[in-house]
Structure 1
Amino acid sequence: MHSSRLPLTRDLVLVGGGHTHALLLRMWGMNPLPGVRLTLINPGPTAPYSGMLPGFVAGHYTREALDIDLVKLARFAGARLILGAAEQIDPATKRIAVPGRPEIAYDVASIDIGITSAMPDLPGFADHAIPAKPLGMLASAWEAFRADSSAARIACIGGGVAGAELILAMSHALRQHNRLTQATLIDSDTALSALGEQSRSRLRAALETHGVTLLEQTRIDRLTEGEIHLEDGHVLLSDFTVGAAGARAYGWLGSSGLEQHDGALVVDTNLQTSDAHVFAAGDCAHMARTPRPKAGVYAVRQAPILFHNLRAMLSGGPLKDYHPQKDYLKLISMGGKTALADRNGRSFSGALLWRWKDHIDRKFMAKFDDLPVMAPPPLPRLRASGLEEALGAKPMCGGCGSKVGRDSLNRGLGSYTGAARADVTPLPGDDAAQLQTGGAIQVISTDHLRAFTEDPMTMTRITAQHALNDIWAMGARPQAATVTLILPRQTPDLQERLLGEIMSAADQEMTFAGAAIVGGHTSLGEELTLGFTITGLCASAPLTLAGAQEGDHLILTKPLGTGTILAAEMTGQARGRWVADALDLMCQSQRKAAEVLCAQAHAMTDVTGFGLLGHLQGMCEASHLGAEIRFDAIPTMCGAPELAEAGVRSTIFDDNAALLPGIGTAGARALLFDPQTSGGLLAAVPSDQSEQLLDQLRNHGYCAAGIGVMRGAGEGIVLR
């Protein structure tokens, strides 16, 4: 976690992961402003770079090369990343609305969300075509279409530079695999009118070379499946249609009350909107005094000025003016590895220009791939012996819940846990107990996590599910919960905002589980830590680790990998989409899984800090049995095997692996000992019920798998 010993006093919120904000995050990571909590709101974990989109479409770049990884960038900048699409900003209350969560408060905000397409206004477009913007939607759709092998007809609506680049790139990609049968570029006016005569001539020649038919002064009436109906009655066939015309600002900006020009936010020379506390940059901004066309070069050059001015607004310094250049060099891809350069009416083309463009684009993306490693503060010259060993060679990760290893835990707590009362029964192997209260059977469990993501709402949801899993695993119905919070030092306003987000998420998760939040306790510390103590009611004796029978099948309800992925995320080795997928899985409730399994399971537990084999070992010991595991049957999270093969390990991995030294930890096998946060349920069920139970679990959306079988006593744990 990014943390500071200084209290937080101001909220800076960035809306959108456009090029300007991406560069700003990198600058912030190099030179943060103490006392500021930085937030980035973006619909997804990545942001595609527009300069490389034609190259990606043509097949010159992979999808990973195209995307700016905002998860990695946010980690570097110490920012909380909220994955969601903003849908409103209210400058009067300084609040931003994101669906599914409380409004996000800001002191200063900046908007860099790009533009979207007006093409869906064309009848049939939304169902039968793809807009060129937002870029991510087009990239995903084209990736899927390009993977096919059948003959294809393609079309692009909009004969500007972007449309010409896209149709040339698509044609090139399909021609390489002998799939192209027809390509059409359609414009309602004169194509390529923004370019000089020489450049227009060169691009028209390229279109002809690539077999693209250019239709000008041509209007479209509607689209149907596989067909483009023109106003003159002709019908064009197209298996993949892109719309590169009619770009416009996002509609929700219109309700902001901020001054606009054709839907874009009007900004002055300081990049401030009509509200001094709201800035805007990139294509969603209109520079009132020096209007310029929408182009990435302006967004990139706005970044240093925006970085300075946001810091100045938050600290009381003077602002700087942004002075855009009058013209810029346009480097236009021409399908294959050739490009056209256009500036001030002069035009050049060839393979050398593509190599130059490729160099510029790769250099830009390298800024986000090769983030500098910020050195930790030096240790005091005079220090106690053993300090280096205690710190370890890597930072403490949150993927193990920052747990103590099993051996240390047993030695430290073993003599203090026992049946002190006749009505209190510690449950075997679990951090829980059974309480006899009159005629009711009540269970109690507690769990807490130090935050491993800067988004408090996501962290609260994960912590709640992590704590509830103990209750579900015992076959109990959640009853009451108390909340324990350690909050970082902040001003009262920021504390109120943080508490509001946390308690909103806590209430949502506990209400869904059927539990009531009855109170809690807060204190201040260096970093955010969240915990829940939960009681539950059982209709019969609770399920425990004991009770498994020889021949029982083992069912796991979630894939493995959270410890490895979160450890990699802390060091910038995990892809953003892997992290986002892992966070989603950690938020997944096991309520329905428990309902399916409890009626049949002989023994059950949740897989958490000791890893799959650590918790299976606990079940074997409590049930006096062995087990056989099929390694290939175990589900894993996207990216986890690759990271494990690369040697990524979480903090307590070695302690977990030491419990079963004969298993081996090479490559992806390391995931067997990977500590899990909000992991799945592990259940021993009758063999004749396992397939039916798996079908039910999968119908409820769980990535459940049968992973092995319980064997006789003395057989230990065997891996197949």
Structure 2
Amino acid sequence: MHSSPLPLTRDLVLIGGGHTHALVLRMWGMNPLAGVRVTVIDPVPATAYSGMLPGFVAGHYSRRELDIDLVKLARFAGARLITGPAVAIDPVDQTVTVPGREPVAYDVASIDIGITSAMPALKGFSEHGVPAKPLGPFADAWTKHLAFNPSEPVAVIGGGIAGCELSMAMAHALRVKGSDAPVHLLERGILLSDNSESAQRKIRKSMADLGITLHENVQISEINATALVLADGTTIQASFITGAAGAKAYDWLGTSGLNLHNGFVSVNPRLQSSVDNVFATGDCAHMIDTPRPKAGVFAVRQAPVLFQNLRAALGTDKWAEYKPQSDYLKLVSLGQKSALAEKFGLTFTGPLLWQWKNRIDQKFMEKFRDLPQMEQPTVPAEIAHGMKDALGDKPMCGGCGAKVGPTTLSAVLSHLPAPLRTDIRSTIGDDAATMVVGGVEQVLTTDHLRAFTNDPVVMTRIAANHALGDIWAMGAEPQGATVNLVLPRLSDTLMGRTLHEIMQTAHEVLSDAGAAIVGGHSSVGDELTIGFSITGLCHQPPITVAGAKAGAAIILTKPIGSGTIMAAEMQGQAEGHIVTKALDLMCQSQARAADILKQAQAMTDVTGFGLAGHIGNICKSSGTGAVLRIADIPLMEGAAELAQNGVRSSLYPQNKAAFPELPDTPETALLFDPQTAGGLLAVIDAQSAEGTLNALKIAGYQAAIIGEITENPDQIELA
């Protein structure tokens, strides 16, 4: 989390992760406006760069080279990223609707969502076709086709520049693959009718050289799983069908109340819509005074103007106007590493032009690849002994990575006397305190997390499920909860918005678990911390960590690796889709898993002390040992590679120090990785283990049997 001594007073919401907004985020990270909280809303954690899409399709670029990582970019800009589609904007209430969460409030908003395809209106396209936009899903679909069905014919609908580039790129990729699969390009009019005769002639020749079959002046009546059916009854066989024609604005803009032109947001030279505090840019916008075609070059050049005007609307009052050039250089990929350049009616082709285009594209993408990493606090020239060791060599992690280490904590707790009350039945090693209230056994836990994501909604879901894990691990049913918050300095308006998001999310998660919020406490500090104190009722004897028996199976209900992934994210080393998947797993409820595991001999949830620390606690309390099969332990996507590259959470050294007998290698590193909202770790009778595992998998858990309990007290072995 970015912290500042100055309070946040205004919300800037960027709707969409298009090229203009990506550049604005980079500029914001270099020169933020104090007091502004920035939010980015996009359906995916990475947005594909349109200029390199044909090169990716042809095989010249990897998917990693194609994508702008919005997670890394948001971290650099100090922004929160909401991964979900915006489906409405209300300029009166000043909110943006994203399904699955409370409306996102703004003081200033900007829309950069690009365009979508009108192809689904064609009969059968929604079921059997792949629109060329959005770019990310198209890229995924093409990768799958090229890998598994390269011998099947391909068809592209739309004979403009985009359709021609895609068809040539596909044809080249298939030839490189050794496939002679036909590639068809269909156009209802004349191919490249908006381009010069010279450009048309040269592109047609390139397409002919690649063996592409052109179908001009044709009408498509429908599409099925294996073919396109034309109006005259002709059938064109194709198993991969894409559409690069019929681009249109997103339908939800039609209900926005903003002035539109053919569905696109009308903007003035300041890029403002008909509502002063709502801006629009890129392909989703229509420039009233200077209309231009939909082209990425305009979106890129709008970025500095939008950046300045967003700042002006938020407080600086220094405005700028966007003045587009009358003509622009068009660079067209020709499938192979060759390109066509067109400007002022002049056209040229050749490999040197592809190299030129590649340099332009790579220079653009380098802006997002080389982002400064999070720095450690500046250390004064004169410091006390031990300061450098206390600071460590990396930024402090959030979540369970910010917990006190197991050795330090155990040493302190060991000096506490045993409870004197006769209605307290638990020990310090248990997940929650067990009390007898009116003859009923009740469990009590409290847990608090230092935020590691700028989105209070996601952080609340994680913190609530993290605290509930202690209740579920005891075999109890959640009952009542208090919410305990430390909020950063905010204006009264932003404080109200933040509290509303947190409390509504907490209510949703806790009520789904069967618990009710009964109170809480809040205070203001340097950064966001969210915690819950929760009670639960036991309708059977509580499941503790002390009942494991030799020969029983060990089941883990969730992959590990969250500490490593979030540490890498803070350092700019984790790819956005890996971070997003890790956050999704941390938000996963363990309620159904706990119900399936009600007959466990012993159980705990895997949190700050890592998998080794928690299985060690079971063994110590039960007087047993354990064998863990490293290969069977489920890992979060990307965690093993990051561990191999030396990424460790700030709590890792203390977790590892508790097990000096275990090897410290990249293969074993994740055993000591602190988990936040981790899975349940259950000891199950061997005879019922497989059936229990199948039930967990059917319920949607990435569970696994990872080892067995042994008779060797306090000995953890690896196999």
2:119 matched residue in structure 1? 119
C-alpha distance 442-213 of structure 1, shift in aligned 2 (>3 A): same
8 Å CA contact 1:629–1:708 kept in 2: the answer is yes
Q: Matches of residues 650-669 of structure 1 in structure 2 within 5 Å?
A: 650-669=649-668
2:247 matched residue in structure 1? 247
What is the rounded CA distance, in whole Å, between the counterparts of 1:376 and 1:649 in structure 2? Answer: 16
1:237 matched residue in structure 2? 237
2:616 matched residue in structure 1? 617
What is the rounded CA distance, in whole Å, between the counterparts of 2:364 and 2:488 in structure 1? Answer: 35
Shift, 1:374, TM fit: 5.8
Secondary structure in 2 aligned to 1:400?
A: helix
TM-score normalised to structure 2 length: 0.99
C-alpha distance 332-256 of structure 1, shift in aligned 2 (>3 A): same
What is the rounded CA distance, in whole Å, between the counterparts of 2:644 and 2:119 in structure 1? Answer: 45
Shift, 1:132, TM fit: 0.8
Letter in 2 for 1:261: H
What is the rounded CA distance, in whole Å, between the counterparts of 2:381 and 2:62 in structure 1? Answer: 48
8 Å CA contact 1:399–1:567 kept in 2: the answer is no
Percentage of matched positions with identical amino acids: 56
Secondary structure in 1 aligned to 2:421?
A: coil
8 Å CA contact 2:603–2:680 kept in 1: the answer is yes
8 Å CA contact 1:565–1:582 kept in 2: the answer is yes
Q: Matches of residues 318-333 of structure 1 in structure 2 within 5 Å?
A: 318-333=318-333
1:156 matched residue in structure 2? 156
> What do you get for the CA RMSD once the two structures are aligned?
1.1
2:259 matched residue in structure 1? 259
2:700 matched residue in structure 1? 701
Letter in 2 for 1:385: H
What is the rounded CA distance, in whole Å, between the counterparts of 2:548 and 2:631 in structure 1? Answer: 23
1:143 matched residue in structure 2? 143
What is the rounded CA distance, in whole Å, between the counterparts of 1:211 and 1:38 in structure 2? Answer: 49
8 Å CA contact 1:428–1:546 kept in 2: the answer is no
- 413-422 or 144-153, which deviates more: 413-422
Secondary structure in 1 aligned to 2:99?
A: coil
Q: Matches of residues 591-630 of structure 1 in structure 2 within 5 Å?
A: 591-599=591-599, 601-630=600-629
Q: Matches of residues 20-169 of structure 1 in structure 2 within 5 Å?
A: 20-169=20-169
Secondary structure in 2 aligned to 1:543?
A: coil
Secondary structure in 1 aligned to 2:415?
A: helix
8 Å CA contact 2:155–2:186 kept in 1: the answer is yes
1:521 matched residue in structure 2? 521
- 348-357 or 414-423, which deviates more: 414-423
What is the rounded CA distance, in whole Å, between the counterparts of 1:461 and 1:75 in structure 2? Answer: 20
2:681 matched residue in structure 1? 682
Letter in 1 for 2:712: A
8 Å CA contact 1:399–1:650 kept in 2: the answer is no
Letter in 2 for 1:665: D
What is the rounded CA distance, in whole Å, between the counterparts of 1:409 and 1:428 in structure 2? Answer: 11
Letter in 2 for 1:713: N
Q: For residues 25-61 of structure 1, what are the alpha-carbon distances to aligned partners after superposition, in whole Å with 9 as ceiling and x for unaligned?
A: 0111111111000000010101000001101111111
Secondary structure in 2 aligned to 1:479?
A: strand
- 618-627 or 403-412, which deviates more: 403-412
Shift, 1:318, TM fit: 2.4
What is the rounded CA distance, in whole Å, between the counterparts of 1:418 and 1:454 in structure 2? Answer: 40
Q: Matches of residues 240-639 of structure 1 in structure 2 within 5 Å?
A: 240-373=240-373, 375-376=375-376, 378-416=378-416, 418-599=418-599, 601-639=600-638
Secondary structure in 2 aligned to 1:26?
A: helix
What is the rounded CA distance, in whole Å, between the counterparts of 2:36 and 2:244 in structure 1? Answer: 39
8 Å CA contact 2:431–2:473 kept in 1: the answer is no
What is the rounded CA distance, in whole Å, between the counterparts of 1:412 and 1:221 in structure 2? Answer: 76
C-alpha distance 519-417 of structure 1, shift in aligned 2 (>3 A): farther
What is the rounded CA distance, in whole Å, between the counterparts of 1:651 and 1:382 in structure 2? Answer: 25
8 Å CA contact 1:642–1:668 kept in 2: the answer is no
State the 4+ residue runs in structure 1 displaced beyond 4 angstroms. Answer: 374-377
Letter in 2 for 1:167: S
8 Å CA contact 1:428–1:544 kept in 2: the answer is no
Letter in 2 for 1:492: D
C-alpha distance 134-671 of structure 1, shift in aligned 2 (>3 A): same
Shift, 1:661, TM fit: 1.4
8 Å CA contact 1:46–1:576 kept in 2: the answer is yes
8 Å CA contact 2:443–2:538 kept in 1: the answer is yes
Shift, 1:178, TM fit: 2.4
8 Å CA contact 2:150–2:174 kept in 1: the answer is no
Secondary structure in 2 aligned to 1:415?
A: coil
Shift, 1:417, TM fit: 5.8
- Structure 2, unpaired ranges of 5+: none
Q: For residues 288-335 of structure 1, what are the alpha-carbon distances to aligned partners after superposition, in whole Å with 9 as ceiling and x for unaligned?
A: 111111011110111111111101111141210111111111111111
Secondary structure in 1 aligned to 2:694?
A: helix
What is the rounded CA distance, in whole Å, between the counterparts of 2:609 and 2:376 in structure 1? Answer: 29
Q: For residues 47-90 of structure 1, what are the alpha-carbon distances to aligned partners after superposition, in whole Å with 9 as ceiling and x for unaligned?
A: 00000110111111111111100000000000010111001101
Shift, 1:375, TM fit: 4.7
What is the rounded CA distance, in whole Å, between the counterparts of 1:598 and 1:105 in structure 2? Answer: 42
8 Å CA contact 1:462–1:586 kept in 2: the answer is yes
1:648 matched residue in structure 2? 647
Secondary structure in 2 aligned to 1:707?
A: strand
Shift, 1:399, TM fit: 4.7
What is the rounded CA distance, in whole Å, between the counterparts of 1:86 and 1:676 in structure 2? Answer: 31
What is the rounded CA distance, in whole Å, between the counterparts of 2:80 and 2:414 in structure 1? Answer: 38
8 Å CA contact 1:153–1:183 kept in 2: the answer is yes
2:215 matched residue in structure 1? 215
What is the rounded CA distance, in whole Å, between the counterparts of 2:417 and 2:509 in structure 1? Answer: 30
What is the rounded CA distance, in whole Å, between the counterparts of 2:373 and 2:687 in structure 1? Answer: 54
8 Å CA contact 1:399–1:562 kept in 2: the answer is no
Q: How many pairs are equivalent?
A: 719
What is the rounded CA distance, in whole Å, between the counterparts of 2:714 and 2:492 in structure 1? Answer: 59
What is the rounded CA distance, in whole Å, between the counterparts of 1:99 and 1:14 in structure 2? Answer: 16
